[in-house]
Amino acid sequence: MEIKEYSKDDETLLFDLLIDEGDEWSDYYGEAGRDKYMRALESSITYIASEDTFVCGFVRCREDDGFGVYVYDLLVRKTYRGRQIGKSLMERVCQDFPGQPVYVMSDVDPYYEKLGYRREGSIFEVKMKTDQA
């Protein structure tokens, strides 16, 4: 298993993983979202875990000018789960940003709790009220 930084050459293989995972990721690979997600990948720090040329998982994050690293996406292919790939991807992020806190924006809290990560607050979605005429 190799963990390396994502490059544009990995795009098709990464999107194959998202498509294989099904509807949960369709906002990223669907017609409306694919271009947006490709732009997000370009402005993010992304690592992929692969076996030969087969993408088994990935993590996408952003660094906040020394204030911390925020993980937005972590996905391991269903058939590869239980092999510590997610944990290895997270360790790679921590290695590459020593001395900075790493935060996960999650909707799969039990996974991160199992890894022993400590909860630090929460995340809220802000929706502005629109004026109605």
Q: Concatenated DSSP letters for 27-74? A: HHHSTTTHHHHHHHHHTSEEEEEEETTEEEEEEEEEE-TTS-EEEEEE
Percent of the chain with pLDDT over 90: 72
What integer pLDDT is reported at residue 133 of this predicted model? 54
Q: Which residues pair with 3 in a beta bridge?
A: 49
| Residue 81 covered by a domain | yes
Residue 59 sits in a domain of what CATH number? 3.40.630.30
Q: Is residue 122 situated within a structural domain?
A: no
Coil vs helix vs strand at 6? coil
Q: Is 56 left (phi over 0), alpha (psi -120 to 50) or beta?
A: alpha
Residue 58 belongs to some domain of the structure: yes
Is the Cα torsion angle 104, 107, 109, 114 positive or negative in sign? negative
Question: Residue 89: is its pLDDT beyond 90?
Answer: yes
pTM above 0.75, yes or no: yes
**In angstroms, what CA-CA distances link 25 with 5, 18, 73, 129?**
21, 6, 10, 28
**Quick check: is 131 in a domain?**
no
Under 8 Å CB-to-CB from 18, ≥6 apart: which residues?
25, 28, 29, 75
Distance (Å, rounded) from C-alpha 14 to C-alpha 124?
28
Q: Which domain holds residue 75?
A: 2-114
Q: Into how many domains does the chain fold?
A: 1
Kindly report, residue by residue over 29-74, the tens digit of the pLDDT: 988 899 999 999 999 999 999 998 899 999 999 999 999 999 999 9
Q: Let me know if residue 88 belongs to a domain.
A: yes
